[in-house]
Chain A
Amino acid sequence: MEAQSGAARTVGGGLPAWALGLIPLVLIAAAIGAFALLGGPGLGERSGPPVEEVTVERTVLHPGTIELTLRNDGPDPVEIAQVAVNDAYAPFSTEGDREIGHLGATTLKVDYPWVEGEAYEIFVLTAAGGTIDATIPVATETPETDLSFYGLMALLGIYVGVIPVSLGMLWLPFMRRLGSQWIGALIAFTVGLLAFLAIDAGLEGLEIAAEAPAAFGGASLVFAGGLAAYLVLAAIDAWLEGRARRQPAAAGAPPGAAPAALAPGPYLALLVAIGIGLHNLGEGLAIGSAYATGALALGAFLVVGFAIHNTTEGLAIVAPLRGGGEGGTEGGALGIPRLLGLGLIAGGPAILGAWIGASAFNPSVAALLFGVGVGAIVRVIVQIAPSMRDGHGRLLHPLSVGGMLLGIALLYVTGLLVTV
């Protein structure tokens, strides 16, 4: 023991801490450099034919042409040779190089007289004779991403995001009339809603990740996004709490108040709004990309369905504003502009999501964003769940369980209206 600690004292004893931190990095860089310079000594040539893993990231249809954006997911470069649409070779041109490097992308513009409403199976033949398959389930023209298109997507986002969420918040006066014994049930109802959203968004994120290049992480992006969102929100929370402790007067809370007092109604409502907002970003993304690929018919039925579905989200935001036992005074402190602000935070991201989804849909980014939504919602659940406690401090009691089940059932039923 003594000899070891003696050696530890000797090695780098006279060096500053930053140098000690730097030395391993320098050695690693030198080793990598030498390894690369010597061409990987001892490893020899690769065995077997090149690995070709290419994913189709995006399909754009215009009259007479089909555009495919391909991303090379594999370790070896892939050269695109020919393209066949529905078992017929078709002339095409490439933007940039025919050869796609590792993680590189290229866009093929295929001349093909596709017909609205038909399905197309495409195979791209590589120089090595391998095939990359792409499917267009229902061919429809990809909308031009001009100003009017962004306007349409914004309108869509407002219809399915801002308006229904805001409408849902109109239940606030009703909830204020409810007896204080219902508070726990209301919060439980919100938790149920949020839990359903989290599961739904998580599954959708995983579904999208399955189509994304594995090299960018695939399904792990959903989990990474979720974890990151959870941790960032937790850090913000801790920071706010710390600030409130230092400036008790500014926070409007009595000195030495319990942490629970630092998460009053409006703050919880804001958290719920942020969580739902991040969820709606993903939802907007899905709607936008589905619209752009023709998988989504913008019928009144769908918009109405989304509106009903998302109205419940508004309900979730205002539930914490019902406040503590004093007849919802915290909620009363919030004026109409602030309530509208909450609605915008929760519903507005649907607009942004629709824009991104329709114009620059990327499965990897979408999977990450869905994960972020899930993480945010889970964090919100963790924060508001304590408010479900009954007089005996129990989290799960008949009223709270009933509330959660009702929340889950309501989202499930309204979700049937909006299956994209």
Chain B
Amino acid sequence: MSAPTEEPDSGRRNGLSRRRFLGGAAAVAAPAAIGLGSLVAAESQPQRAAAETLAHGGHGAGGAHAGHSAFPHAAFAKDRRVDHARNGFHPTELLRDFDYGTTHRLPSGRVVREWELVAQDREIEVAPGVVYEAWTYNGRVPGPTLRAREGELLRVRLVNASEHPHTIHFHGVHSAAMDGMPGIGEAMGGGQIEPGESFTYEFDASPFGVHLYHCHVAPLASHISRGLYGAFIVDPAQGRPEADEMVMVMNGFDTNFDLANEIYAVNTIGFHYIDEPIVVGRDELVRIYVVNVLEYDPVNSFHVHGNFFHHFPTGTSLTPSELTDTIIQGQAQRAILELRFPYDGDYMFHAHVSEFAELGWSGFFRVGDPAKLAAADAAALYCELPWGGGVRS
């Protein structure tokens, strides 16, 4: 990270200093990437340089933190990319993809929210060129981020189209029969769901917070690490302040089945958010739902550069427990993080377990002018909340 930083008191909405920063970033990058002639051009056209930096990124070829080192950070081989189309899901889209299911109201007025999850075996490319035989919910890893509101009645139908028995075990408050635990609730058609069978889990959305669901068939580590997990968010009845919301499921893949992960990531694809930084608006409230489902390693962590965030463990309280820049999570621990980026530029986020970071669990936030970002494609990714709150529309 060689980009010069602004002085804090120069005013973060100061256009001149912002131009200077972006021009500076281009000037640092230019000698390595395109030579001296371009350096002059970049300085004489700060606006264009600024636009290009925003468009093409502050790193990689022509980037702000390239140029000084051939190895600015760990990365995959440069000559190929993951084929997201073939995978059937894209980490950039998955990040802000909340699945609200379908709803109807009971005569009492209570909202019933329903989903169907299909367990299916699927080959996914977990790193460029590396194919993994994953077990998935709805063909993606992590599974859909199920999102409901506190107090609703939830019905989740599991269709097992996999070759193996599976369940969905929700973290939440529910009856034993709805626990997705093999051997329990079989009389009601629950328990272990064999291939070709289906079952509908029914429970109340409680308590509010960020939770998770996963398969609970033994051997557990195998069924989870194969990809059968997802985030489960219950919004408080009164909602949360408007924010740019995103889900980060911290996971990994043991591609050679030696009970140790070869690849670490948030949302499955290692280094994805380095190749495609997460674009956020300067000064905007960013809310991150972080869920750790990593198998085979006892802890995982989340750290962000150049910033601090409010930490809401499990999201079950509306009052943050801490202002920090690093959290540690054991398996199935999760949290809501809230922060605002006061300065433009690229800010890394990664596991502060450096080994995980360098084996894929790293990314960048790209902070820019909200006005520009609103017009960008990124805006199209934002979702609409059925009750009209929570996320920027």
Contacts and interface: CB of A to CB of B under 8 A. Distances in A.
Partners in one complex: yes
Contacts of A64: 70-71
B382 to A, nearest CB: 31
Interface in A109-140: 111-113, 123, 125-131
A125 B130 CA distance: 8
A93 B256 CA distance: 23
A102 interface: no
Contacts of B128: 81-82
A113 B74 CA distance: 11
Contacts of B270: 89
A279 B94 CA distance: 64
Chain A CB count within 10 A is highest, among B74, B78, B263, for: B74
Nearest to B127: A82
Contacts of B359: 84, 87-89
A82 B130 contact: yes
A127 B69 contact: no
Contacts of B360: 89
Given A87-B355, A89-B358, A93-B79, A82 B70 contact: no
A88 to B, nearest CB: 3
A82 B270 CA distance: 12
Interface residues of B, number: 28
B262 A125 contact: yes
Contact of B75 (A87, A90, A125): A90
B163 to A, nearest CB: 15
B204 to A, nearest CB: 40
A111 B70 contact: yes
A82 B131 contact: no
Interface string A208-219: 000000000000
Interface magnitude class on chain A: 20 to 34
A83 interface: yes
A87 B261 CA distance: 10
Interface string B69-96: 1110011111100000000000000000
Contacts of A92: 77
Nearest to A108: B77
B256 A131 contact: yes
Interface in B90-139: 126-132
B71 A113 contact: yes
B255 interface: yes
Given A87-B359, A88-B359, A111-B70, A129 B77 contact: no
B78 A130 contact: no
A241 interface: no
A64 B10 CA distance: 39
Interface in B235-280: 253, 255-256, 258, 262-263, 270-271
A93 B130 contact: no
B59 to A, nearest CB: 13
A98 interface: yes
A113 B130 contact: no
A88 B256 CA distance: 17
A129 B71 contact: no
A343 to B, nearest CB: 50
B73 to A, nearest CB: 9
A79 interface: yes
A239 to B, nearest CB: 55
Nearest to A127: B129
A355 to B, nearest CB: 32
A111 B71 contact: yes
Given A79-B129, A81-B127, A89-B271, 18 more contacts: A81-B77, A81-B128, A81-B130, A82-B127, A82-B128, A84-B74, A84-B262, A84-B358, A88-B355, A89-B359, A90-B75, A93-B77, A111-B70, A127-B131, A128-B131, A129-B131, A129-B262, A131-B255
Closest CB pairs A-B (n = 6): A129-B255, A88-B358, A81-B129, A88-B74, A81-B130, A87-B355
